[in-house]
Amino acid sequence: MTLDLDLSGRRVLITGAGQGVGRGLALTFAAAGATVLVNDLHGGRAESVVAEVDRLGGQALACPFDVTDYAAVTDALGSAGPVDILVNNAGNAGAEGFSIRGRFAESSPADWEPFLAVNLYGVMHCTRAALPPMIENRWGRVLTIVSDAGRTGDPNSAAYAAAKAGAAGLMRSVALEVGRHGVTANCIALGTMRTPLTEPLWSQGDTPQAKAILQPYAIRRPGSPDDVGHLAVVLAGEHGSWITGQTVPVNGGFSFAL
């Protein structure tokens, strides 16, 4: 009996893989033998993850583009060629100049737009561009990193939560459309992670703010990219062939899928 987690011969595009969860996914998929197309908005970040994968003996190439720009997505995938696995990881939850934390009743369409653009339209763009060759090859995996915010709601992050819930609805619909072609579509819903996005919360030790954030978690630590990567490899491999349309929480017991 063998447990086959080998992704040799598979090409995976991971969006937003220049740091954080996406970087962790790139390293795990490379360790499983896949060739990793490392996407990021920032080319330098993508290049440095490619160099890291190279040093570890894996295979990767940089594939920088902006997931919010559909023409850029189709151009990049046209040049890079078809992928077997797409991981929609690029997202924003309030970092890098976006202001998210505020009451929905006091917000405006201009405040929502950046969150919908990356977390929903970005997922639609990449999924739309990657699916046709998967359907033709009668094998494919689409995996989207969403957030518990989209399952449970999140005060002060309504636009982000709406975009993530929308991405999960997209995955369920795509799953129904493409299952008969051997393609699955799933989400992993994350709780609070320790990544560059949230590092300021954790880098100052056991602060009252960090304690308050972790208080509802059964396991009182932020998640690490490794907590996500192994599940992603299972869902993306042969053992994931009958798991589709699901949103699997990886969240230290913050909330539960019934």
Q: Which residues bind ligand NAD (CB under 6 A)?
A: 15-16, 18-22, 39-42, 45, 66-68, 89-93, 95, 118, 122, 145, 147, 190, 192-193, 195-198
In angstroms, give the least distance from the CB of 88 to ligand NAD. 8
Instruction: Supply the minimum distance, in Å, between the C-beta of residue 90 and ligand NAD.
Output: 4
The answer to whether 217 is a known catalytic residue is no
Distance of CA 230 to the CA centre of its chain: 13
Return contacts of 41-47, CB within 8 angstroms, 24+ apart: 41/16, 41/65, 41/66, 41/67, 41/90, 42/18, 44/18, 45/18, 45/19, 46/17, 46/18
* Active-site residue (options: 70, 121, 160, 217): 160
Q: What is the Cα–Cα distance from 175 to 182, expressed in whole angstroms?
A: 10
Least separation, in Å, of the C-beta of 238 and ligand NAD?
25
Q: How far is CA 14 from the centre of its chain?
A: 8
- Measured CA to CA, the distance from residue 162 to residue 115 in angstroms comes to 9
Minimum distance between the CB of residue 16 and ligand NAD, rounded to whole angstroms?
3
Is the separation of the CB atoms in 86 and 10 below 8 Å? no
In angstroms, rounded to a whole number, what is the distance separating the alpha carbons of residues 221 and 216?
A: 11
Judged by beta carbon, residue 229 or residue 240, the one nearer ligand NAD is 229
Closest CB to ligand NAD among residues 34, 193:
193
Cβ-based nearer residue to ligand NAD, 35 or 157: 157
Residues 245 and 187: beta-carbon distance below 8 Å:
no
Choice between 128 and 181, CB closer to ligand NAD: 128
* Exposed / middle / buried, residue 256 (Cβ in 10 Å: 0-12, 13-18, 19+): exposed
- Catalytic sites, residue numbers: 160
